[in-house]
Structure 1
Amino acid sequence: GKGGDFYGNQSFRVGRTLSRAIIRDTLRGATSMTEALRLMSFKKVAVFDRYADRLGMVG
């Protein structure tokens, strides 16, 4: 198989609640983007932004 949908799988890998908390804190400035990318195993800010958008959060 191809591994499925990356963004769909992210909610299972990190957890939807934790993902939303990391995104919220990053957008507020409480968590650095570098730390957020590390916590979520993302390499690019664009991926963070797309995932935030997919969760209905402003990226």
Structure 2
Amino acid sequence: MAGAATLVRRHRIVEDDDLSVLRSPGREIVRLQACHPRFFATRRYSVAAKPVAANTV
């Protein structure tokens, strides 16, 4: 794998109106979100990851 990889730091399920998971921590971060349960928008599954160095070929 060339380039950067990511490392999952945290995942959690939050209410649909909880915007605290969108706040920037002041550093580079990748944030993924999906509906929970699937096909409903009552909650959000939120995953936070940080970039880590990867060996390049």
TM-score normalised to the size of structure 1? 0.28
Of Structure 1 and Structure 2, the greater helix share is in 1
Larger Rg: 2
Of Structure 1 and Structure 2, the greater strand share is in 2
